[in-house]
Structures are given as C-alpha cells and as structure tokens.
Chains A and B, each alone.
Chain A
Amino acid sequence: MREGLEVTDAKAQTIGAMDALIAKYVDAQGGLMRALIALNDAYGYIDASALPRLATAFNITKAEVKGVISFYDDFARAPKGEHVLRLCQAEACQAVGSRELTAHACKKADVEMGETRADGRITIEPVYCLGLCANGPAAMVDGKLRARVSEADIDALLQAWEHEA
C-alpha cells in the first residue's frame, strides 16, 4: 500500500483534521503549495471539500486555489488506485524502450496511461524523469524507485497485485 494512502475514504477527511493540516502552513513561505502537498500526501488526492478551507486560510479565492492545483501534475483531484505505477516517459528512458514497456504494462494491466482501472486497484501514470536516466527504463512503484525495468518485472509486479486478497 502506498505511503499515506491509508485514508482513501473521503468521509474520513474530517474538516477538523484538514484544517489542522492547513493551519500548519499558513505562515510558511509558499504556504499554499506546502498545504496542498501535505493534503495530497495524507489523503492521496485533494478533495473538493478542501477548496473553501484553503481559500479561507490563505485569504484568496477558490478559483485561485483551483488554479494552483490544476497547474501541478502531482496534485490529484480524485483518489488513485490502491497501487500506483509511474513509468518514466522522458527521452533517456525512451532510448532504452520505455515506449514499448509502457504499452506492455497498460495492456497487461488493462488500463490506459494516466488512468485508474475501473475496479480501483491499479493506476498507471506518466512521470517525466526520475533521475535514473543511466539505468532506464525507470519506474516508481508505490512510491519506490525501480531501475532497468523489464517486461518480466512488470508481469511479476502485476501478478503479485492481482493475487492480493
């Protein structure tokens, strides 16, 4: 399970807990970014119910908060799958077959790039460089770095995930 994803149920995001998280960053440099990162880490995504709280805390409009959230790839607006596979799509990994690897993974997992499977088990998303460019193709598997990833590695991973209770 992905770190910080223990609370995927939106109802568990009590207003009190959210406010407490946000309050920590109100006076910090770049506080809104820090608060968004904290929410995203804690809940796996940023729930719409957080928007008015953030707007009030930082004294800006809801539209401004939305604008910031939509600018950054890391901020999710809906829960992701139980498992998240991020596959590097940048040039150095392309040079060692990331395009083929990505097609293979999406086909095997039966999910489109950037999507979460209907059963909510698996998300596959792009990432643009993990700094493992000499040892590609690179991936991040539930938050952990992996290098020189092969199709067999993907198969083993997916099999393990499919066989979980």
Chain B
Amino acid sequence: MTRVFIPLDSVAVALGADEVAAKLAAIEGVEVVRNGSRGLLWLEPLVEVETPKGRVAYGPVSEADVDSLLAAGLLDGGDHALCLGLTEEIEFLKNQERLTFARCGVTDPLCLKDYKAHGGLSGLRKALAMEPQDIAEEVMTSGLRGRGGAAFPAGIKWKTVLGAEAAQKYVVCNADEGDSGTFADRMIMEGDPYLLIEGMIIAGLGTGASKGFVYLRSEYPVAKAVFSEALERAYVEGLLGESVLGTGKAFDLELFIGAGAYICGEETSLLDSLEGKRGQVRAKPPLPALEGLNGKPTLVHNVISLCAVPTILAEGGAFYKDYGMGRSTGTMPFQLAGNVRRGGLVEKAFGVTLRELVEGFGGGTRTGRAVKAAQVGGPLGAYIPPALMDTPMDYESFLKIGAGVGHGGIVLYDDTADMAAQAKYAFDFCAHESCGKCTPCRIGAVRGAEVMAKVIAGNDVHGNLALIDDLCEVMTDGSLCAMGGMTPIPVLSAIRHFPDDFLKGDKE
C-alpha cells in the first residue's frame, strides 16, 4: 500500500480535492489519507506521496492531472511538471517556526493514535498531574497574549477565572474568525482538531471549569464537519466526559454554530449569542472572567490562544517565551491573503518583518504588479504602505505605527486598488455589522459611508474629509466596543498613507 495524502481542508476542497481523492482512492495499492493543509495554499490541492526518501509533494493537482501523474510514477515519487520535491524542503515551509501548526498537514486529523504518535496529549498528561494554580502559572510564564485581536495576557485571565468562586465555570472558545484575510482557526480545526480539544481541557483544569463550548461561525462547513467528528471520537476514546483519560476529572465540550454576524466575534456579543439571544455587546464590567456565560465565570479565548496551550504545558512556559521579542512572546500564525502570489499560513516567532512575510514568503502580488498596501489585522486593521513594511510584526512595534497585529491576517493589494473605496467599505461594513447598542457606531458608520461617498464623488473634498476626521474622533472615543471604536483605523490610515486616492475627485 502506498499512502497518498490529499487535504480535506476547505481550500483544497474548494479547488477540487474531493474529486482528486476519489480518483486516486479507486486505484489498487493506494491508501488515501485526508490530511489537513500544510498551509501552502497557492499549491492546493497539494498531493503528497509517502516514499522511502520522505513525502514528495505535487501541486496544484486537478482531477485531470491524475492520469499523467500516475504515468510519471506518482506512487514512487516520480518526476512530473507538478512535482515540488520533498515537502519538508519547500522553502515556504522550511523557513517557518511551527509550534502550533507542527502537526497540521502531517497527520490524519481525525486519528487520535496519529495525534499521540506525533506528541499529542503530552501537555494534557502533565496538566492532569498538576495543581490548577501551577497550570495557570505556566501560562503566565509563557507570556502568551490573546490571539483573537486584543492581545490581553492570557495568564491574568486564567488566574481571574480560577480565583472566582462558583459552582459552575466555563471555557468558551471563540472560533468566530470573522476577519477577512484570516483562516488560521479554520485550518487548525480542520487539520488538527484534537489540539484544540486538548487546549480546552487544559484550560478547564487550569481555571476550575468543567464545561466548554466552541462557538464556530456558520461559514465554515468543513471545520464544522471535522470538528464534530473529532468531538465524537474524543468522547468514545475517553478524552472527554466524566473522567478525562481515566483520571476522574470531568470535562465536557460542545460545538455551537453561529448564524452569520461578525459582531458575535466580540466576546460579550458571542456570549449573548451562545445564550440564544441577539448578539448584543455587553458593557464591561462585569468582566466575562467573573460574569460570563449564564452569568458564571468564563474563560473566553481565541482558537489559536487555546491551541498554544498544549505546547506551553508540554515544553514549559519558558520554552514558549524564548520565541518572539519583548512582550510579544511565542509564535504567531500569520496569514497571507488577498492579491498575493504565494498565499498561505506562515507560523513565525513575533518579530519577523511585514516585508519578509509579504515579499519573502508571499512573493509579492498575484497579478505581478507593484504592492500598494497591506491591511493587517482584519477589517478593523490599518492599511500599511510599502514604506512601512520593515516594521517587525510584534504588538509594540505595530502600535507605534498606528496599527495592530490582530489575529495575524495580512491582505495584500496591488497598485490598481483604490483606497478611497476601501475606506468607504470600512464604514459600510461597520454599518452592516454594528450591533446597534451605541450611537457613535450605529449612526456614525452610516454617516461615514455617506460622507465618504461625497469625497469619492468630488464634492467639497476638503470639507468632507475634515468631517470624517471629526466623526472618527467621536467613534474612537465614544463607542462601546472596538467595532465602532476601531473602524476609524482603516479609514484614517488609508487617508494618511494614500491621500491621492481621496483627492482625485477634487474639482477645485
């Protein structure tokens, strides 16, 4: 039997991987494994063949290529126009520092045996033998900060939840991943789902919570299918339930699906949604760590934060802290998206420059034209011009240039992009997604879009840009959450760095 790996990842499937897999599975002597993606997304569907030399990669493979691949000796790693050599030697992959994504694309995501054989559960086994305080302390030592966007120190949150007295506490995983240009949560839930389960159980042990929920957006049907299956198997294997790995410690985990609202990624909105309500943002305090889901102490974390935890427990907080720079410790899965030649996932320690990611890994634009801008950190992130791309990707350096790392998404634009249209879109998106609780956001976004339309049409450009400035100040200072509060960031960064795009309609 020759093992052939064909990803079940959304990107691979959206580009025909199921058809390729079906065709190869019908061939005698072939065992098809549906793995996660390696994150070399421009090469998907990426087919790998196990050979004595190692895994040999081919891509992008379509159903129509299968016959010629077989004729060229695919099953022995034979040469072909689509052959990329040994997977591990592909530069894009070789130059990464994979901690969280170390297994993604390597293993069969649904096989718990495979998971264990590749180091899985070693963090959990350690945690099961530790006191909750010591688990939380290990997370504190690692310096891990929330990967969902706000970058709050995880250890502090764990200690707050642990210290709260309550009969029931919860761990809630934020898998709403609404930011355009991000797909790390999706990839890990499809490619290594037991990692998230392991991270959540450890979080339960470290905070005294016996019940967890994963809030997953509905736009991710493949992640839903894979993660549901993993959950079921985790119960069967005794990883979840009344007695985790036979230790007598209980942890239950449920999957909850959203219904198409970006704002439900905001943690308090998410909690209301998880209570079956409109996803309205709650005023803080009370902090969710003290009064969260159903009014009980709740640890809310992004998928990637939770997926860093098994490594931190297995290798120690100090090991994790050795990666990165300053107060930005550990690694970050950066995601290269939009108009990029080599799009995909790059896990690197904090401190890699935006240029290394955009040009080195990404290879510039897909169209081959000049790079005009990168929007970093989702719809509420800044538009950054090439002149600022030598900035290291870490929380502090990005703050200095008026930007944020957010969830690590990088959307690239070529020189045909119109930044005034992007600025208007930022307002339109905010208007569409606003939860409606506070006026600066609810009304401000609509007004902003109207005024920006006038700027684009060339009506009193300078007067209207001054109005936008005022409006942005009101939104920044007066909004209850970052939806309204950070929409000014893409708008103002676009105006600051690309003034010509706003002045071109100027009739004076």
Given A96-B338, A128-B180, A128-B429, answer yes or no on A134-B379 (Cβ-Cβ < 8 Å): no
CA distance A128 to B379 in the complex (A): 11
Q: Which residues of B contact A10 (CB under 8 A)?
A: none
B260 touching A74 by the CB < 8 A rule?
A: yes
Given A29-B256, A71-B261, answer yes or no on A134-B343 (Cβ-Cβ < 8 Å): yes
Mark contacts of B229-261 with chain A using CB atoms, 8 A cut-off: 1 yes-contact digit, 0 otherwise: 000000000000000000000000010111111
Number of residues from A at the complex interface, CB < 8 A: 42
Q: Which of B14, B260, B413 has the most CB of A within 10 A?
A: B14
Given A29-B274, A68-B278, answer yes or no on A135-B178 (Cβ-Cβ < 8 Å): no
Q: How large is the interface on B (under 10, 10 to 19, 20 to 34, 35 or more residues)?
A: 35 or more
CA distance A74 to B340 in the complex (A): 30
Q: Which of A33, A73, A144 has the most CB of B within 10 A?
A: A33
CA distance A67 to B436 in the complex (A): 12
CA distance A12 to B162 in the complex (A): 51
CA distance A24 to B178 in the complex (A): 29
Of the candidate stretches B202-210, B212-220, B450-458, the one touching chain A is B212-220
A134 touching B42 by the CB < 8 A rule?
A: yes
B13 touching A72 by the CB < 8 A rule?
A: no
* CB-CB nearest in chain A for B179: A129
CA distance A143 to B222 in the complex (A): 11
- A residues 60-75 touching B (CB-CB < 8 Å): 67-68, 71-75
Q: Which residues of B contact A72 (CB under 8 A)?
A: 258-261, 279
Of the candidate stretches B21-29, B181-189, B441-449, the one touching chain A is B181-189
CA distance A96 to B412 in the complex (A): 9
CA distance A148 to B45 in the complex (A): 13
A128 touching B338 by the CB < 8 A rule?
A: no
Cβ-defined partner of A134 (8 Å) among B11, B220, B274, B279: B11
Given A130-B219, A133-B183, A148-B15, answer yes or no on A90-B379 (Cβ-Cβ < 8 Å): yes
B379 touching A130 by the CB < 8 A rule?
A: no
Cβ-defined partner of B14 (8 Å) among A75, A143, A145: A145
Cβ-defined partner of A73 (8 Å) among B220, B259, B278, B344: B259
Given A129-B180, A146-B14, answer yes or no on A95-B339 (Cβ-Cβ < 8 Å): yes
* CB-CB nearest in chain A for B435: A71
B108 within 8 A of A: no
Q: Which of B213, B260, B414, B433 has the most CB of A within 10 A?
A: B260
A145 touching B13 by the CB < 8 A rule?
A: yes
A131 touching B183 by the CB < 8 A rule?
A: yes
Could you show 29 A-B contacts with beta carbons less than 8 Å apart?
A29-B213, A29-B254, A32-B277, A33-B276, A68-B277, A68-B278, A73-B259, A73-B261, A74-B260, A93-B338, A94-B422, A95-B413, A95-B414, A128-B262, A130-B219, A131-B10, A131-B219, A132-B11, A132-B14, A133-B181, A133-B337, A134-B336, A134-B343, A135-B42, A136-B337, A138-B14, A143-B221, A145-B221, A145-B222
Residues in A lying within 8 Å of B, measured CB to CB: 29-34, 36-37, 40, 58, 67-68, 71-75, 90-96, 127-136, 138, 140, 143-148
Q: Which 8 A-B pairs have the closest CB atoms?
A: A134-B343, A90-B180, A95-B338, A73-B260, A133-B337, A32-B276, A72-B259, A147-B14
